[in-house]
Amino acid sequence: MSASTLTKADIVDKIYEKSDRNRAEVKANVETMLEIMKEAIQKDHALLISGFGKFEAYQKNARKGRNPQTNESIILSERKVIVFRLSRKLRAELNPQ
């Protein structure tokens, strides 16, 4: 089973096909929605979309690592990461009993 990636352009196309809006308007709305989502994650460190899931940002501490090509020990700096957790509803739809 090969997976294909749904791109932002694909999302715009699908919304355009299902609406009576022009493509430029749909693209602007998708861009606005994504900007709102990014701002929410940056400000609140979380974004909950009912029936879909929750995006959460958290700080990872610095840690030891190694360069797999040279086997050299390195320190990985602290950074923010985002995790996504499916809602129970979407998980149940993906994994019917």
**What kind of architecture, by CATH, is found in domain 45-97?**
Irregular (4.10)
pTM of whole model > 0.85?
Answer: no
Residue pair 29/50 in contact (Cβ under 8 Å)? The answer is no
pLDDT level of residue 2 (50, 70, 90 thresholds): low
Write down the domain spans for the chain: 1-40, 45-97
* pLDDT 10s digits, 57-93: 999 999 999 999 999 999 999 999 999 999 999 999 9
* pLDDT 10s digits, 32-61: 999 999 999 999 899 999 999 999 999 999
Residue 61, pLDDT score: 93
* pLDDT 10s digits, 8-36: 999 999 999 999 999 999 999 999 999 99
How far apart, in whole angstroms, are the C-alpha atoms of residue 61 and residue 9?
35
Closest CA to 34 of 18, 49, 19, 14: 49
